[in-house]
């Protein structure tokens, strides 16, 4: 769509979608940290760490699709946390499903992350001590 709007040789058309996904990923990291730790300082520190991490900067410049995979993966984590906390199961389940599909569609090795997230959800829902922690998280 960007190449149709700006042409195939335009740098903005090529780089802007990855830039927008990277910025959205930073926002998602902030939201996830705010969900896990209610402290605004911790969320800001997570945001700053993600923004200045040289590994993420390097990969987002060289690896095609890295920004999209990171965004969809962080969206999956956020949707999972909301799914475990809220009662809007359909909405957050749909967001989790779509972000997982789009993450794997962007880069196929992301299926390992999705499987790991599914195992984590399964363990969280079945191990008794984790159920207690989940109930405390909901308060």
Q: Tell me the pLDDT tens digit for each residue of 33-79.
A: 999 888 899 999 999 999 898 888 788 777 778 889 999 999 999 99
Alpha helix segments (H runs only) across 2-127: 2-6, 11-36, 40-52, 54-62, 66-85, 89-106, 110-126
Q: What is the pLDDT of residues 93-121, one digit of tens each?
A: 999 999 999 999 988 889 999 999 999 88
* SS3 state at 63: coil
Q: How far apart are CA 127 and CA 108, in angstroms?
A: 30
Residues 85 and 138: beta-carbon distance below 8 Å: yes
Q: Which two tokens stand for residue 28?
A: 């998602």
Q: How far apart are CA 100 and CA 71, in angstroms?
A: 10
Pick from 84, 80, 21, 83: which is nearest to 56 by CA?
21
Residue 15 pLDDT grade (very low, low, confident, very high; cuts 50, 70, 90): confident
Q: How far apart are CA 31 and CA 33, in angstroms?
A: 6
């Amino acid at each position: 769509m960007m190449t149709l709007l700006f042409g195939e040789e335009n740098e903005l058309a090529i780089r802007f979608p990855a830039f927008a996904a990277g910025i959205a990923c930073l926002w998602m990291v902030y939201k996830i940290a705010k969900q896990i730790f209610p402290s605004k300082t911790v969320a800001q520190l997570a945001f700053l760490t993600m923004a200045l991490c040289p590994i993420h900067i390097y990969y987002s410049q060289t690896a095609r699709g890295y920004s999209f995979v990171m965004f969809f993966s962080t969206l999956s984590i956020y949707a999972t946390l909301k799914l475990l906390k809220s009662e809007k199961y359909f909405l957050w389940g749909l967001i989790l499903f779509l972000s997982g599909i789009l993450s794997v569609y962007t880069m196929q090795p992301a299926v390992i992350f999705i499987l790991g997230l599914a195992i984590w959800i399964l363990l969280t829902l079945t191990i008794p001590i984790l159920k207690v922690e989940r109930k405390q998280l909901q308060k």
